[in-house]
Amino acid sequence: MKQSNPKGKIIVAMSGGVDSAVAAGLLMEEGYEVIGVNLRTWEYQPPACNTTKKSCCSPDDIRDARETGLTLNIPFYVIKMEKVFGERVIQRFIDDYKDGRTPNPCVECNTFVKFGALFEKAKALGIEKIATGHYARIHHSGGRYAIRDAVDKKKNQAYYLYGLSQDAIKSTIFPLGDLVKSDVRALAKRMGLTVAEKPESQEICFIPENDYRAFLRKKGVGFTPGFFKLSQGQIIGKHNGKEGFTIGQRKGLGISWKKPLYVLEIQDDGTVVLGEEEETTCFSFYIEEIIWQGMEPPKESFEARVQIRYRHRPVLCIAIPLTNGSLRIEPKESVKSVTPGQSAILYPTSGDHLLGGGLIQKGTIGMNRKDHLALVDSLG
């Protein structure tokens, strides 16, 4: 594929998958001088057993990305990012589980590695634009840039991109934002790319067998044993380590009860508080470490829609700014298993772009249904 480049240079982060490969091909066709890079973020170790699941960042992925570069006839480089990935992603992953939070490494990787360190390297080389194969679009209004939902709602990745700065969004192109996955695979076939039918990665890249407990032990994390306790205070069993649980977890608790139980709280002393499904409902919580995109940091309460996990349907809420820079979120309908360490993002009441987002704070507030209904009535 011959390349003409009236639009200048652009770096495309190429993971070895079909999405980033097609992104590179489309930008070439638009007239960019494409430079492909693969980010080596960790020292890959093959799974200990045969598995059909796929994880990213393996030697096979680097090979596939390089082959795509050869097919498209573009320069291709592997950039070492182990240091920043270790500090910003892996260490936070470890610290969060030690502290009773559930980490979201994809958010951290996008914020600090793919759109952080890579963006800085591009600028150092005098290259003003980067691109990825994420399913997202860009919204620009009132002098501010924000991530906007992709056309393909099943693949939409806006949730993972709330941490991008204004400069990063302004300098990024998402070529797949207006496409659906079937179109992307069809384009890959047209371009002659060998990854056209490559399966998608399904796991955290540095935990290819999806066994985060084994990973934590390998990293020297000491597991804190303790008791299972019902929310009313009754002790009903023991466990081998609070680090092996997440808020909202039901399966794999290792305890039997007359009704299904869920993790409600993970305490520092090792106590894991359990309750029935209705007790997982949360009507009020905090988010911190907030990044604002589609609006300036607010001084007064405002209505929005909040999304508390990747596949969660955004619900109407009141967002209340606090003096320490965090937000108190009061959903107008109940949400379940609000999990500290996970991300919460905010949309306008009507619109598909991000206002901002942050991390769900440990120690979320519970509220009974009567008090919640009274609050909703008072908010109109």
Domain boundary among 212, 246, 275: 275
Does 205 participate in catalysis according to the annotation? yes
Does 37 share its domain with 169?
A: yes
Q: CA Rg, the chain, in Å?
A: 22
Does 106 participate in catalysis according to the annotation? no
Question: What's the pLDDT score for residue 379?
Answer: 47
Does 313 share its domain with 372?
A: yes
Asked if residue 198 is part of any domain, the answer here is no
Does 145 share its domain with 286?
A: no
Does 229 share its domain with 362?
A: no
- Residue from 56, 57, 106, 205 carrying the catalytic annotation: 205
Does 44 share its domain with 172?
A: yes
Contact 61, 13 (CB under 8 A): no
Domain holding 231: CATH number? 2.30.30
Residue 67, both tokens: 């082959």
Does 78 share its domain with 120?
A: yes
- Could you tell me which residues come within 8 angstroms of residue 232 by beta carbon, excluding any fewer than 6 positions away? none
Domain holding 161: CATH number? 3.40.50.620
What does the pLDDT look like over 327-347, one tens digit per residue?
999 999 889 999 999 999 999
User: Taking residues 270-284, what's their average pLDDT?
Assistant: 92
Domain boundary among 275, 309, 341: 275
Residue 169, both tokens: 């969004």
User: Taking residues 180-206, what's their average pLDDT?
Assistant: 92
Query: pLDDT exceeding 70 applies to what percent of the chain?
Result: 89
Is a pLDDT exceeding 90 seen at residue 191?
yes
pTM: 0.89
State the residue range of the domain holding 315: 280-379
Asked if residue 103 is part of any domain, the answer here is yes
Q: How many CB atoms lie within 10 A of CB 195?
A: 23
Does 301 share its domain with 267?
A: no
Asked if residue 211 is part of any domain, the answer here is no
Q: What phi and psi, each to the nearest 5 degrees, are found at residue 319?
A: -105, 125
Asked if residue 108 is part of any domain, the answer here is yes
Does 87 share its domain with 233?
A: no
- Residue from 56, 57, 106, 109 carrying the catalytic annotation: 109
- Residue whose entry in the numeric block shows the structure tokens 């082959």: 67
Does 186 share its domain with 257?
A: no
Does 84 share its domain with 172?
A: yes
Asked if residue 112 is part of any domain, the answer here is yes
What does the pLDDT look like over 209-263, one tens digit per residue?
788 999 999 999 999 999 999 999 999 999 999 999 999 999 999 898 999 999 9
Does 135 share its domain with 251?
A: no
Asked if residue 142 is part of any domain, the answer here is yes
Asked if residue 82 is part of any domain, the answer here is yes
What does the pLDDT look like over 59-108, one tens digit per residue?
788 999 999 999 999 999 999 999 999 999 999 999 999 999 999 999 99
Asked if residue 1 is part of any domain, the answer here is no
Domain boundary among 248, 275, 302: 275
Q: Please state the domain count of the chain.
A: 3
Contact 302, 375 (CB under 8 A): no
| Beta strands 172-173 and 130-131, pairing class | parallel
Does 305 share its domain with 241?
A: no
Domain holding 317: CATH number? 2.40.30.10
Is a pLDDT exceeding 80 seen at residue 189?
yes
